[in-house]
């Protein structure tokens, strides 16, 4: 299928753990198309992270093929996999994983610097645009340590998007956030999705699952069900606010109270 960004066919992932082998994934087939906003749901230990690692090219399948944007990852060298991650994938981590010594602007700029494609002016413009999109223009020169959990995750989202990846992978992006902040982050991702970014994220939080357009349920390393969104979740609350909100995610955020936006985070950044 030419539209598919990610294709998994008969993927197994085994983790040898002493004498036994943990079969983290068994016979997974999956296809993600451009523009999707997909949630991988399932209880803890069901294999969500493992699946995302394979798609994110930071780990390799034991059996089966993983194809990203037409490239079979089994056939790529370590260098090429790194390049693929840099140019085609965006990552949002559970614990944000910002570089502590760099401020928000610099953290977002990081992938562009690694890409070495853009000049300083173009980089600055792009980073500024993203800072605005995630509503952190005022915090451009704050270090992660000076930001709340929600703010940090927004920096992380901006960093994942700055290289204009084919797909953004997010492993439990709200797990370290309180429910209010988590909801905001989710809404931000939804808004960004509407502007064209493909999202694939994992969660075991039922409230998050409600918002997805497609839900892949995992149980014990297998895909238990793969369903299109429920009608209730199809209508995003944010989408209902105003037509402008569909265009500008920042505007969507603007509807939230400042107190909620700065809700303290439980987790610390790196």
Partner 1 sequence: MLLLRLAIRNLWTHKWKTAIVGGLLTVGTLLVVVGQALLASLDLSMSQSIVHSISGHIQVSKAGAKDRLKLFGSPNDGTEIGHIEDFPRVRKALEALPGVEAVVPMGFNNAVVYGGNILDVKLAALRKAEREGDRTRTKALRNHVRRIVGLLRGELGNLEGFVDLSRQSTEDREGHAAVETAAHDAFWQGYDADPQQAMEFLENRIAPMAMGEEMMFLRYIGTDTARFTQSFHRFELVDGKPIPPGQRGFLFNKLNYEDTCKHKTARRLDKMQDRIAEGWTLKSDAELKQWMELNQRQYKEITYQLDDLGAADVRKALQAELGSQQADLQKLIQAFMAMDDKNFAKRYKLFYAAIAPYLQLYAVNIGDVLTINGLTDAGYPTSVNVPVYGTFRFRSLDKSALAGATSLTDMMTFRDLFGHMTADRREELQRLQQGSGIKAVAREDAEAALFGADSDADEAVELAAAPTGSGAAVAAVGRDASAPSTGLADAATDAAAADLARLDLKAGGRRYGRELFGRRYNQQEIDGGVVRHAAVVLKPGTDERAVLQAVRAASDRDKLGLTAIDWREASGLIGNFIGVIYAVLATALLVIFIVALVILNNTMVMATAERVREIGTLRAIGAQRTEILAMFLAEALVLGALFGTLGAGLGVGGVLWAQAVGIPAVNDVLVFLFAGPRLYPFVTPLHVGVGLLAAGFVTVLSTLYPAWLATRIEPVVAMQGAE
Instruction: Please choose, out of 23-31, 80-88, 193-201, 220-228, the segment that lies near partner 1 by the rule CB under 8 A.
Output: 80-88
SS (H, E, C) 145-189: HHCCHHHHHHHHHHHHHHCCCCEEEEECCCCCCCHHHHHHHHHHH
Q: Which helix (H) or strand (E) holds 37?
A: strand 37-41
Q: Which of residues 43-62 bind Mg ion (CB under 5 A)?
A: 49
Instruction: Please choose, out of 41-49, 182-190, 193-201, 229-237, the segment that lies near Mg ion by the rule CB under 5 A.
Output: 41-49
Q: Which of residues 64-93 bind ligand ADP (CB under 6 A)?
A: none
133 binds, among ligand ADP, partner 1, Mg ion, none (CB under 5 to 8 A by kind): none
Name the nearest CA neighbour of 162 among 130, 124, 139, 187. 130
Site track for Mg ion across 69-108, x = CB under 5 A: ----------------------------------------
22 binds ligand ADP (CB under 6 A): yes
Report the residue number, 42 or 249, with the smaller CB distance to ligand ADP: 42
How far, in Å, CA of 131 to CA of 220, rounded? 39
173 binds partner 1 (CB under 8 A): no
Q: Which helix (H) or strand (E) holds 64?
A: strand 63-68
Q: What count of residues does the chain have?
A: 270
17 binds ligand ADP (CB under 6 A): yes
Q: Which of residues 41-60 bind ligand ADP (CB under 6 A)?
A: 42, 44-50
Sole binder of ligand ADP in the list 6, 24, 155, 191 (CB under 6 A): 24
Min CB(158)–ligand ADP separation in Å: 24
Residue 98 DSSP label: -
> Taking the CA of residue 128 as centre, how many other CA atoms within 13 Å lie in the half-sphere pointing to its CB?
6
38 binds partner 1 (CB under 8 A): no
Backbone angles phi, psi at 4, to 5 degrees: -65, 130
How far, in Å, CA of 16 to CA of 185, rounded? 36
Query: Which residue in the block uniquely carries the two structure tokens 């939804």?
Result: 190
The structure tokens listed for 197 are 């970014």
Min CB(17)–ligand ADP separation in Å: 5
71 binds partner 1 (CB under 8 A): no
Binding site for ligand ADP (CB under 6 A): 15, 17, 22, 24, 42, 44-50
């Amino acid at each position: 299928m030419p539209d598919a960004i990610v294709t998994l066919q008969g993927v197994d992932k085994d983790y040898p753990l002493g004498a036994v082998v943990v079969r983290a994934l068994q016979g997974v087939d999956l296809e993600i198309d451009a523009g999707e906003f997909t949630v991988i749901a399932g209880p803890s230990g069901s294999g969500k992270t493992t699946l995302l690692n394979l798609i994110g090219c930071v780990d390799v399948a034991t059996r089966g093929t993983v194809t990203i944007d037409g490239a079979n990852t089994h056939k790529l060298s370590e260098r090429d996999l790194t390049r693929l991650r840099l140019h085609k994938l965006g990552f949002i981590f559970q614990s944000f994983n910002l570089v502590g010594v760099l401020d928000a602007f610099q953290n977002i700029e990081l992938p562009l610097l690694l890409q070495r494609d853009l000049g300083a002016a173009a980089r600055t413009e792009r980073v500024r645009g993203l800072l605005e999109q995630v509503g952190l223009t005022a915090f451009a020169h704050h270090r992660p340590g000076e930001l709340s959990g929600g703010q940090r995750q927004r920096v992380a989202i901006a960093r994942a998007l700055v290289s204009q990846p084919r797909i953004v992978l997010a492993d439990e992006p709200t797990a370290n956030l309180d429910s209010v902040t988590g909801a905001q982050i989710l809404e931000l991702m939804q808004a960004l999705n509407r502007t064209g970014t493909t999202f694939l994220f994992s969660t075991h939080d039922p409230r998050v699952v409600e918002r997805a357009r497609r839900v892949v349920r995992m149980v014990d390393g297998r895909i238990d069900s793969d369903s299109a969104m429920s009608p209730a979740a199809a209508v995003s609350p944010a989408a209902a606010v105003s037509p402008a909100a569909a265009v500008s995610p920042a505007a969507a955020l603007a509807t939230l109270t400042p107190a909620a936006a700065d809700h303290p985070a439980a987790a610390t950044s790196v």
